[in-house]
A and B are shown apart, each in its own frame.
Chain A
């Protein structure tokens, strides 16, 4: 049975090495392409990280002690080759011993429970500061709608929030709604996830301390394209954020050179689902396109927002994101090219 023991030893070593690498990731500051929960960059994610390290050390300690006892018992009490085939002494139990090992888990549970309760209240019932930014997040199959009620901005899939600094703390409070089925808002570096449920408004908050791009995605199965309901959060410096707000508050750019494309957009069914402020398009089933060209991705992160990708997307959405609710509009190649030219002017 030595092999088992060695097996577990090697495993434990491998695991702790990996764990070290992961925990090391936590010291790396700021946004990462791997959205590790051990690389927190926002207040709630940081307090969860602190709690998780505490719990991990307690459970790790239990594993070492109990696992070690088990491994010891397996080696010490294995049947020997020169066994005399007699039965070992029969022991039926011991009330004292059993009471002792009931009390220890109870004490551990008390400690874990109190620590956990403190963090639950600290995150869930945190008082909301006066100047916190409010964003309403609406989950759709299969994209995100972001509304900034106080700023008059509507955008999709790429959330912009200001960075929070010790001198000027500015958390963002997210009001979570759903237009259809259950979704879940999860950007691991910024906060734990909270579900978006129809008829059941939820709230969560983030307070990112480093600027940059944070990745997340929908974390509650919501249908065929759940996997491609990706999410980006841009944490901007105060100046960047002010500029972005100013830009987003403008109506859609009307470039006369792209008038043909605009006409195609306005005279087809595009307007049933999409809004471009300043035009006849006021649909609300699909993402607001007023500033489409200011976004880096299309179709909730399914593809990049380049003219070629936009062309492919309009031509046949199902090929890019099978099951997407956007229909292929049966436009001619020329029409799509003009449409793309128009949409690319919408900065």
Chain B
């Protein structure tokens, strides 16, 4: 099963790789100047994983501070910097980079192309994003802010005006935040254009739009959404910078500016951004769940339609982040309805995954375990999302720990779990080595337990009235024990991530050889060697269904008879 060769029109190139030892400098130079979509994909993911460790370290410090009331582990200044940086890092430097890293690596391989449509733009986008992130972190040493040398942004990741105005945030910390988001935004736009052009123009023979793997479909939807939503974010950052340096008054309330306008600009970006992050995670699940259930995805057209539907509806729900900001009752009611409507296509997705598993033969390998945990957690995250969409209840839950629990269920329970699933699934393709299943199971169970200890508990401390972004709390509020439990869970997750890092390092050195197709899968990337050669396919492949490798493995019962 592992090493069969599959004759898709001369797809396999059997010329042995040139064996040549590179000096460190040559090796490094090769990575820096590369325009190969696979290398850029790896760069994105490695960059994202590095910042996952950084953002994780920040949050562990936060959890030590909150483990008991009145703690002095972090000063209020540092605490506020850490949670601002944690949020900004995880969304822009971890989520976005890993998601687009997967897209870079997989989209051309899955549609039978040799590279992205614009390889140089691709490299440019990566380096813009990378330097944008470094600019953000340089603020720790260069951000001479309100509290002296070396202050990072401390205005929360949504940076509500007018706290970001010069009057309340002197120094340059906020400028680092705004500028780095502008720079990273342009990088993201470049990648989004690239993905769209690649998916629309570079498909191999026979790969109609409705034969594209669902991962590619979701990246198309996400890229379209990115083009629309990064724009208001960048516009808002430009306006903020004008306010701070050119005497503008867009958000300067003391001169008649509007704080509410900032909130609208930010959330018309910020809400679709959640879908930009979570839909690639759906894409990963759409590839992994069928393979390990040994069944075709149930209702492919409905899955595509639901993804496009979610993207459209998600553009009209942003003000549900602003139910407490003082909108009219009619305004609130509108956003309740639009938000609840997201639940319909989302429900369709969950049912279709369930139907895919139904009647299959589920193999509990590590990628599948992460995906199954994702299904449960995504179900809960969706249901708490419905609770938050109920505006009156949101007046209570907004900005409480319940909200933190809800969106971490989405960002960790759905996205990070699926990113881990994706890494376990495609690591063999990228490196030619299998990740260890034993360490993988340790990683899974530790992370799963830690995740639930932390984030299940957060729902309750939110019900008990604990607001977010506070560096300490009163001892008599009844929040002490639960906060200690949350902190313990955070450290269990930290240990799990270390196990994962160790697994990657160890498996890279002496992991089991993967072969072309270790999972007996069905999409085109498994037809090429692991790791794939620079040009991917020796000759252009041709496909006749959504699962070209299924057709090859089952010539008696190919998919194209049924689609």
Residues of A participating in the B interface, judged by any CB pair closer than 8 Å: 1, 4, 7-8, 11, 15, 18, 22, 33-38, 45, 47-48, 51-52, 55-56, 59, 62-63, 66-67, 69-70, 73-74, 77-80, 83, 87-94, 97-98, 101-102, 104-106, 108-109, 112-113, 116-117, 119-121, 123-125, 141, 176, 180-182, 184, 186, 188, 191-195, 197-200, 202-203, 215-228, 230, 301, 322-323
Contacts and interface: CB of A to CB of B under 8 A. Distances in A.
Q: Which 3 residue pairs are nearest across A and B when measured between Cβ atoms?
A: A192-B395, A227-B470, A35-B465
Given A52-B387, A219-B467, 8 more contacts: A4-B372, A33-B477, A37-B463, A63-B380, A98-B352, A101-B347, A113-B340, A200-B260
Interface magnitude class on chain B: 35 or more
Contacts of B386: 55, 59, 112
B364 A78 contact: yes
6 contacts: A22-B463, A48-B395, A88-B294, A92-B296, A94-B299, A105-B348
Interface string B453-482: 000100010011101111111101111000
Given A37-B396, A73-B357, A120 B336 contact: yes
B343 A120 contact: no
Interface stretch (B2-10, B155-163, B232-240, B429-437): B155-163
Interface in B367-407: 372, 375-376, 379-380, 383-384, 386-387, 389-400
Given A59-B383, A125-B329, A226-B470, A323 B77 contact: yes
Contacts of A323: 76-77
Contacts of B456: 11, 15
B168 A73 contact: no
A63 B364 CA distance: 23
B467 A36 contact: no
Contacts of B470: 217, 226-227
Given A36-B465, A98-B352, A109 B341 contact: yes
Given A116-B392, A117-B336, A188-B396, A88 B361 contact: yes
Given A117-B336, A120-B391, A220-B399, A197 B344 contact: no
Contacts of A105: 343-344, 347-348
A15 B452 CA distance: 11
B477 A113 contact: no
A121 to B, nearest CB: 5
Secondary structure class of chain A's binding surface, majority of residues: mixed
B555 interface: no
A92 B324 contact: no
Contacts of B390: 51-52, 55, 112, 116
B343 A184 contact: no
Interface string B325-363: 110110011001100110110011011101101111111
Nearest to A63: B383
Nearest to A180: B168
B295 interface: yes
B535 to A, nearest CB: 32
A67 B379 contact: yes
B554 interface: yes
Interface stretch (B101-109, B116-124, B250-258, B415-423): B250-258
Contacts of B42: none
A92 B298 contact: yes
Nearest to B475: A33
B300 interface: yes
B383 A181 contact: no
B361 A77 contact: yes
A124 B77 CA distance: 37
A112 B303 CA distance: 25
A181 B164 CA distance: 9
B474 A230 contact: yes
B301 interface: yes
A225 B146 CA distance: 14
Given A67-B376, A192-B324, A198-B259, A34 B478 contact: yes
B329 A121 contact: yes
A182 to B, nearest CB: 5
B557 to A, nearest CB: 8
Contacts of A203: 326
A89 B341 CA distance: 34
Contacts of B26: none
A47 B259 CA distance: 30
Given A63-B380, A92-B563, A116-B391, A192 B156 contact: no
Contacts of B326: 176, 194-195, 197, 200, 202-203
